[in-house]
Structure 1
Amino acid sequence: MTVRDETPAGPGVAGAGAPVQRPPAEVRYAGELAALRAGDRDPRPPGWELSLRAARRFVVGDPEAGISRKFVGNPSLVDRALVTLATSRGLMLVGEPGTAKSLLSELIAAAVSGDSTLTVQGGAATTEDQIKYGWNYALLVAEGPSTRSLVPAPMLRGMAEGRLVRFEEITRCPLEVQDSLLSLLSERVVAIPELPGADGMVFARQGFNVIATANTRDRGVNEMSAALKRRFNFETVFPIPDLDTELDLVEAEVARLLSGSGVQPPPDRDVLEVLVGTFRELRAGAGAKDGHGGGGDRSTAVMSTAEAVSVAHAVGVRGWYLRGEPGNASDVVACLAGTAAKDSPEDLARLRRYLEQQAGRRRTPQWQALYDARHLLDD
């Protein structure tokens, strides 16, 4: 059976029309991917567009070849992920929210398949039709079941075209929806009983596999069945351990986002250092009631690198569009309030204690400005 893609080109389609807010990885890094494909002489797994070595270089970077570093994490994690996808087992990336699980899955899909857009976004409303296939009901009524009335979902397209499929936040889906993957991952076939003959079976081509992600904070919401777990290799993505590395990443991402938002001045690195330091210490449990660090007063809110980028973006937008200048420490406090109080009112109290007990002890100008702006939490 041949699955046809009849999606018309438009502004939201990669490479067509007006600029999009966030192009997929294969568009953002098209030049790097083309260069890697042209110089790739290593053996490639069946159905892959790059060898494992070239795919690894695309993700972790190769300065000598002009390949930028895109994932800040343990390179051995990338190695294990690529090896898993070259086998018959799916890959499950787990970790705290904001640890770049989705980014890693996107980069790997772009390197392996040249297409990272075959994606299922998991949620309470996700149905099996959104995973496998659905029907154009006007054609279904007029002509009956046929390949014309069939509407392929990402999993069916991935199998028919031999591409990687990304399944984001799989544990947010109902259990019966999750388990619809069992036959896909074990038998590598989708049965379409409504279609007669050979069209009723779609067999996976070489190159097909699944990358799923799950937040550790979602465990217990819809715990995966033991049968489904056996069909995945699990890899944990940890937060960035080094302050300077995290600061460099936040600075680069915020500069890109601010440019896209029409903000002219670049982010102030001193302000970003205060913001990233605050996130790291709240994540680790600093600001405890006794004034010392420790895990007893950790924020329950997500204080991840991705959240730090979001707050820093808001700081820059606030400073530029309200005052015509880069954001400052006062903007950090104002923007932090919505992040810290997201999950629990007690988190706002933790942030207040942190500003009183930790920020006030620092003697640099930006830390003192952060301390002086603490009253903004009550505004």
Structure 2
Amino acid sequence: MLYLDHAATSPVRPEVLEAMRPYLTEVFGNPSSHHTTGEAAANALDDARARVAAVLGMRTGDVVFTAGGTEANNLAVKGITLAALVRDRRHLVVSPVEHESILESAEYLRRFHAVSVTQVAVDARGRISPDALGAALRDDTALVSLGHANNEIGTVQDVAALGAVARATGVPLHVDAVQSAGWLDLRDLGADAISIAGHKLGAPKGIGALAVRGRVPLEPLLHGGGQERGRRSGTENVAGAVGLATALQLAEAERAAVAARVGAATERFIAAVQTRIPSATLTGDPRHRLPATASFTFAGTSGEAVLLELERRGIVSSSGSACAAGSDEPSHVLLACGIAPEVAQTSVRFTFGRAALPTDAPEHLAALVADAVRAVSG
């Protein structure tokens, strides 16, 4: 079986599992406990926090460990916006191609806190222009929250340019880097807050982080013992934090070489698919795209039917976001890019991992995709 759904989740790396093991066994203390067992856990947590901060280009104290990317995005969007309400800033800017955790957080704020939400438009490739963002900002804008790289089509935003627009008006920028972490450099984004998730990097599910600069007020969503400097109460997942830090460091050390190798294989796969399948249309930006992502529509087919045929041929892929699995609705990302609903429902996403592929794998894979598409095209 060839697993090509790494944007949904990746397997835990052996090095990560080994790094976590002591904190699942003998070093089991609560990091808030004031004894040697608790202090050992607290030291490991502090070390993990420092390592995550270094990769993100943030300060150690900026990092808040969460239960994953969804919680990190919720904490950023809700926490920063709610804290800004005392300054009468009641406006939030997102885009229509964001992950559900951002869009639904924005909708919650609109419904229950009278926050005005603007969705800045994207072009046909899923990109946001700095001019469009600038036009969306207002005097009462509390936050701009945007994805660094889209989880469905892989389009990468020019976050540096967008951040410059936000900074010019004094508006903080939150960047959802769940998909881009490990593939792109996160240190010079100019973001005020960055979200990541462990299970996209080779750490377990259930651990993530939000790094938010100290100058940005943040209202906690979880209340209780005041852990994470009062920003996220609850006993910390020490083993998960160690795993996240280890996976992030490993991915960062390998990033340039792996991105170049995987990106070259992905380009060969895209070219082979487009050669073999006349109906195949690459979605997203062909240049500004994650190196491991290739998403297509196959007009005249059903994306779900193609997925079933691919699995019969030993290939596991997806039709888009795992968080929208089971929905009969066409992808909100593709609709925002101007793709017709009936075409959007033919989408299939292939996302590669960091492991090396056999030399002939891209072309062989494209041949299997072509077989699957022909099988459902009648």
Q: Could you tell me the TM-score, scaled by structure 2's length?
A: 0.28
Q: Could you tell me the TM-score, scaled by structure 1's length?
A: 0.28
Higher helix fraction (1 or 2): 1
Q: Which is bigger in relative contact order (C-alpha 8 A, separation at least 6)? A: 2
